[in-house]
A and B are shown apart, each in its own frame.
Chain A
Amino acid sequence: MQMQAETNLMSDADMAEEIVIETQDVNVFYGDNHALRGVSLDIPKHQVMALIGPSGCGKSTYLRCLNRMNDTVEGCRVVGKILLDGIDIYGPQVDEVLLRARVGMVFQKPNPFPKSIYDNVAYGPRIHGLAANKDELDEIVLSSLEKAGLLKEVQDRLHSSGTGLSGGQQQRLCIARALAVRPEIILMDEPCSALDPIATAKVEELIDELKENYTIIIVTHSMQQAARVSQRTAFFHLGEIVETGPTEQIFTSPIDERTQGYITGRFG
Chain B
Amino acid sequence: MTDLSNKTGGTGWNSDHFRKNLARRKRSEKRFQRIGLGAILTALTLLAILMFSIFSKGYTAFIQTSISLDVTFNEAIIDKDGTRDPEALRHANYTKLVQESLRARFPDVEGRSNLRALFGLLSNDASDTLRDMVMANPELIGQTLSVELLAGDDVDMLNKGYIDRDLAEDNRRVKDKELVWIDSLKEEGQIVTHFNSGFFTNGDSREPEKAGIAGAMVGSFYTLLITMLLSFPIGVMTAIYLEEFAPRNKFNDLIEVNINNLAAVPSIVFGLLGLAIFLNVAHLPRSAPLVGGLTLALMTLPTIIIASRAAIRAVPDSIRQAALGLGASKQQAAFHHVLPLSMPGILTGTIIGLAQALGETAPLLMIGMVAFIADIPGGINDPATVMPVQIFLWADSPERAFVEKTSGAIMVLLAFLVLMNALAVFLRKKFERRW
Contacts and interface: CB of A to CB of B under 8 A. Distances in A.
Interface string A112-144: 111000000001100110000000000000000
A67 B326 CA distance: 10
25 contacts: A69-B324, A69-B325, A74-B247, A97-B327, A97-B328, A97-B329, A99-B327, A100-B324, A100-B325, A105-B321, A105-B325, A107-B322, A107-B325, A111-B318, A111-B321, A113-B322, A114-B319, A114-B341, A123-B326, A124-B326, A124-B327, A124-B328, A127-B326, A127-B328, A181-B326
Nearest to B435: A114
Nearest to A112: B322
A15 interface: no
A44 to B, nearest CB: 23
B172 interface: no
B105 interface: no
Interface in B317-343: 318-330, 332, 336-337, 341
Contacts of A84: none
Contacts, number: 66
B337 A113 contact: yes
B433 interface: yes
B326 A111 contact: no
Contacts of A107: 318, 321-322, 325
A127 B324 contact: no
A114 B433 contact: yes
B7 interface: no
Contacts of B320: 72
Nearest to A109: B318
A177 interface: yes
A183 to B, nearest CB: 9
A102 B327 CA distance: 8
B324 A111 contact: no
A101 B326 contact: yes
B194 interface: no
A111 B319 contact: yes
Contact of B330 (A72, A104, A174, A177): A72
B434 to A, nearest CB: 11
Nearest to B337: A113
Contacts of B319: 111, 113-114
Contacts of A178: 325-326
A165 to B, nearest CB: 15
A198 interface: no
A10 interface: no
Given A69-B321, A101-B326, A105-B325, 11 more contacts: A72-B320, A74-B248, A98-B327, A100-B325, A100-B328, A111-B319, A113-B319, A114-B433, A123-B336, A127-B327, A181-B326
A100 B322 contact: no
A30 to B, nearest CB: 14
Interface string A79-119: 00000000000000000011111101111010111100000
A24 B319 CA distance: 31
Contact of B322 (A98, A99, A111, A128): A111
Interface of A: 67, 69, 72, 74, 97-102, 104-107, 109, 111-114, 123-124, 127-128, 174, 177-178, 181
Interface of B: 247-248, 316, 318-330, 332, 336-337, 341, 433
Contact of A100 (B247, B327, B336): B327
Contact of A127 (B248, B316, B321, B336): B336
Contacts of A177: 322, 326
Contacts of A114: 319, 341, 433
Nearest to B341: A114
A128 B327 contact: yes
Nearest to B332: A127
B338 to A, nearest CB: 11
Contacts of A104: 325-326
Contacts of A128: 327
Contacts of A111: 316, 318-319, 321-322
Most B C-beta atoms less than 10 A away, residue of A67, A107, A113: A113
Contacts of A99: 327
A88 to B, nearest CB: 19
A177 B322 CA distance: 9
Given A74-B248, A127-B336, A67 B325 contact: yes
B341 to A, nearest CB: 7
Most B C-beta atoms less than 10 A away, residue of A106, A123, A177: A123
B326 A100 contact: yes
Contacts of B341: 114
Most A C-beta atoms less than 10 A away, residue of B316, B320, B323, B328: B328
A103 to B, nearest CB: 9
Contacts of A69: 321, 324-325
A170 to B, nearest CB: 11
B324 A101 contact: no
A114 B343 CA distance: 14
B77 to A, nearest CB: 75
Contacts of A101: 326-327
